[in-house]
Amino acid sequence: MYTGTYRTECRFDCGTLLSSYEILNTVRIFLPGGKCCSDPEQAQNVSDCILVGQRADGTVYAEVRLEDRTVTRTAPAPVTPDEDALEFAVCSLLYEVLREMTGYTPPWGLITGIRPVRKVIQLLENGKTPDEAAAFLRRKYHISAEKMQLALDTALVQQPILPHSPKEIGFYVSIPFCPTRCSYCSFVSHSMQSAYKLIPDYIARLCEEIEVCGQIIREHGLTVQSVYIGGGTPTSITAEQLRQVMETVRSHIDIGSAREYTVEAGRADTITAEKLRVIQEEGATRISVNPQTLQDNVLQAIGRDHTAQQAVDAFRLARSMGFDDINMDLIAGLPSDTLTGFTDTLEKILALAPDSITVHTLTLKRAADLHGSLGGRSSGELADVMEMAALSAKSLPAHGYRPYYLYRQKNTLGNLENVGYARQGKENLYNILIMDETQTILAAGCAASTKIVSPSGDISRIINHKFPYEYIHRFDQILLKKQKTRELLACL
């Protein structure tokens, strides 16, 4: 595997300014262990290079010189030489060159964006049949038959569920605390030890913000379709504190009109019968119990303080109390996990028969972690991660789960995807909407991001302070942000 350093050069003589961002994303699909030199002085001494651009003779080109091997491709420039068309033309050439040089055919082809399903839905909305949409996207982006089928199946499950009125919104509440911090965590989450003293004040402020959100929803005649209490691990706080938050939600938000109400219970070491009773009594309809793995050695390696048996017990406890919509999250590619371990986890989860199962692929915290070590993985181990995703895509539908949301992230092992699978009728609208970005989401709490989608599709975002201390002590600014939200919502 290539682990050297290369430089890039983008030359467009028609004067079009072209960012090299997509070019780099395309290169990273093939050379995840390589490093791009961004210092112009040092770059002069780097012989490996990626050259793309446009020539005066009306052609575009991509040339890759790596370790004494050079491959070049040329094609006519696009008829409409706008920035997007030029960028796509050179990325396509670069894709062909790198595929030839590395011998690697990426499963998602040339798609580097995070929402392949949106592309399918747009084509379906424009009148293409599912077969036509799939054929078009496969031709344009070189997507493998398996991944195209996954994206198409997901789009077909999603399409009838997606809301159509801009007045229908999602509501999110953030409780950003966890018992300990997992080694791979890239969320805004604070361990209970470090944030313990702040929690009562945090909850008091959070309840104030929820109340203001309720006023805004009523003033603008909005309907809440989905409520999601996420984190962190919302069940990290005490049962009384959870009751305080959920009582506030019930008093100020019309949860009766919502299609679903989720509390992300998350980690088994925080789930008790008392907290589950609060969740039930306060009107939530869905919980997540997220073991990520049922291998004790892997749980230990990622810094979790609970065992696989505790996760199984937490699931069974919730079932015995009558929860009929439980999600379980898994991660492919966790440190110390193996294909055998993942297969065993998947079998044990299937035996529990949760209502939905989300399979993530490990995302490394920093792009830099991909360089050189590939997050500590050898090529063989990366092939295993691919196999884990393929195994999930095969065995979950065979057990009655349909893919209903799918997204990709940067710095994900093998450039793979995250997929939510659910039994029919148990699809979580909030998960779809957070990725689809076609519905307004009003959010309360630390690092919560309110997203206002205008009827024309323009998106405005208002993001709360990232740390609990800031959130508590600069709460006047949170109220100003809510005033801004009011003004922006006037467009709906």
Nearer to ligand SF4, 34 or 234 (CB): 234
Residues 44-79 as b/e (b if ≥16 CB within 10 A, e otherwise) read: eebebbbbbbbeeeeebbbbbbbeeeeeebeeebbe
Does position 233 bind ligand SF4 by CB under 6 A?
A: yes
The answer, yes or no, to whether the previous bond of 232 is cis (omega within 30 of 0) is yes
Identify how many contiguous H helices and E strands the chain contains and give both numbers. Answer: 17, 18
Handedness of CA 249, 253, 255, 256 (dihedral sign): positive
**Separation between Cα atoms, residue 264 and residue 326, nearest integer Å:** 10
Q: How far is the CB of 169 from ligand SF4 (least distance, A)?
A: 24
Among positions 24, 49, 114, 185, the unique one binding ligand SF4 when judged by CB under 6 A: 185
Tokens representing residue 295 in the block: 């291998």
Q: With respect to ligand SF4, which residue has the nearer C-beta, 189 or 431?
A: 189
Binding mask 267-296 for ligand SF4 (x = CB under 6 A): x-----------------------------
Q: Exposed (0-12), middle (13-18) or buried (19+): which is 202, by Cβ within 10 Å?
A: buried
CB of 337 to ligand SF4, least distance (A): 15
Given 35, 65, 128, 181, the residue binding ligand SF4 (CB under 6 A): 181
Beta bridge partners of 318: none
**Is 449 or 477 the residue whose CB approaches ligand SF4 more closely?**
449
Q: Using the rule CB under 6 A, give the single segment among 17-25, 39-47, 225-233, 243-251 that binds ligand SF4.
A: 225-233
Q: Is 189 in the site for ligand SF4 (CB under 6 A)?
A: yes
Q: Which of 410, 401, 406 is nearest to 418 (CA)?
A: 406
Kindly tell me which residue out of 143, 156, 178, 279 binds ligand SF4, with binding defined by CB under 6 A: 178
Stretch that binds ligand SF4, among 31-39, 134-142, 183-191, 386-394 (CB under 6 A): 183-191
Q: Does 333 bind ligand SF4 (CB under 6 A)?
A: no
Figure out which of the listed residues 21, 104, 187, 196 binds ligand SF4, where binding follows CB under 6 A: 187
Is there a contact between 329 and 291 (Cβ–Cβ < 8 Å)? yes
Q: Could you tell me the two tokens for 445?
A: 């709490």
Nearer to ligand SF4, 99 or 360 (CB): 360
- Compute the least distance from the CB of residue 183 to ligand SF4, in Å: 9
CA distance 331 to 363: 9
Q: Which is nearer to ligand SF4, 73 or 267 (CB)?
A: 267
Q: How far is the CB of 231 from ligand SF4 (least distance, A)?
A: 6
DSSP code per residue over 83-138 = HHHHHHHHHHHHHHHHHHHH----TTTT--SS-HHHHHHHHHHTT--HHHHHHHHH
Q: Is 182 in the site for ligand SF4 (CB under 6 A)?
A: yes
Minimum CB separation of residue 307 from ligand SF4 in Å reads: 15
379's tokens: 């090529």
Binding to ligand SF4, residues 367-396 (CB under 6 A): none
- Residue 285 beta carbon to ligand SF4: minimum distance, rounded to whole angstroms: 22
Nearest residue (CB) to ligand SF4, 108 versus 407:
407
Q: Are 454 and 166 in contact (CB under 8 A)?
A: yes
How many residues line the site for ligand SF4 (CB under 6 A)? Answer: 11
Q: Which is nearer to ligand SF4, 21 or 187 (CB)?
A: 187
Residue number with CB closer to ligand SF4 (180 or 415): 180
Residue 134, CA distances (Å) to 249, 393, 414 in order: 42, 18, 23
The helix (run of H) or strand (run of E) holding residue 51 is: strand 49-54
By C-beta, is 428 or 439 nearer to ligand SF4?
428
**Residue 220 engages ligand SF4 in binding (rule: CB under 6 A):** no
48 dihedral zone (left: phi>0; alpha: psi -120 to 50; beta): beta
Q: By CB under 6 A, is residue 266 in contact with ligand SF4?
A: yes
> Which residue, chain included where needed, has tokens 């398996």?
146
Choose between 190 and 286: whose C-beta lies nearer to ligand SF4: 190
The residue type of 133 is A
Q: What residue ranges bind ligand SF4 (CB under 6 A)?
A: 178, 181-182, 185, 187, 189, 231-233, 266-267
